[in-house]
A and B are shown apart, each in its own frame.
Chain A
């Protein structure tokens, strides 16, 4: 039973933010879903202070061994989340981690403060793959800026803070170290890799409505392994590893690379019960092949 930021979880498999909608899934698959919930903790999609409609379609492109998406974080905003979604998510049989994003310190602070007060929220994950209004760079691409934001919001809550790191930066381990130093209780990675797809038959025209998107799925798994290993060897806080996991074996590799938990994302699109299958495969692997150092 992994201990993650004081949460006792039944197994190490959680979902990646934005890849599983527990409320929509309950509507599609019925309440039985809760009885066999695929994850040991549920991570919400990203909540912002104001509601967002998301990016213009098309939003999806099937890539080689993966998916390029430019969804654009549509959500009801903090007020809508607290009023409509939180009561439903609180009924889940597993702890709730709420993912938030803000483009200024003030926005992040307002989100952290409001969610930190809610006992239904077991942890807060900060999505820092957002352009910083002050610098124009992604907040999570810049160790100093990320440290500045975290130091400002850390004192606002005792709820564990997880920083969801972006892979679109030169040195993810340094950003992770800055997050740890500024009081992050855990880090999670990788977020999607920035990518682009062209319209078939239309030279030079991007397919996605937002021009670029984020790549996920098995295509990014080896990037994830490298970044998780680099970060885990640099920080002492727990690491949530994710990127292209489709099997218990993939999950085990991330654990061996230093992750405490493993998130399943794009694979849940193909099979909504994938989390349950992967955690089953993982415990079978652990039972059959006790950890042996391969060095």
Chain B
């Protein structure tokens, strides 16, 4: 068992002991178990999966963030986290449509925005839709 705290700029999402954890590191998913070596990593949009003290599996969507593991404490700082069951599918779909529309406009030069920004938005929306589907 080790401690996991998930904190976003507006609240503490989770703070309790857990058994195992999988997070989306920038270079791919990585697993964390008790007594993991000290680690600092950047995260990319994806899903967080962890097994709590009662062996219940939790699934969350995460946007960009960081995680530090040291002395059996995993601290996860994320811009935004959503519990899979609470993901608003309609909103995610709208966000995806908007991003696609913006991308089309950016290609024709109608809208002056950074393409990477749109791609990130699409990735975040797709990620949320995927996780929602997995949990239902």
Q: Do A and B bind each other?
A: no
Residues of A within 8 A of B (CB): none
Residues of B within 8 A of A (CB): none
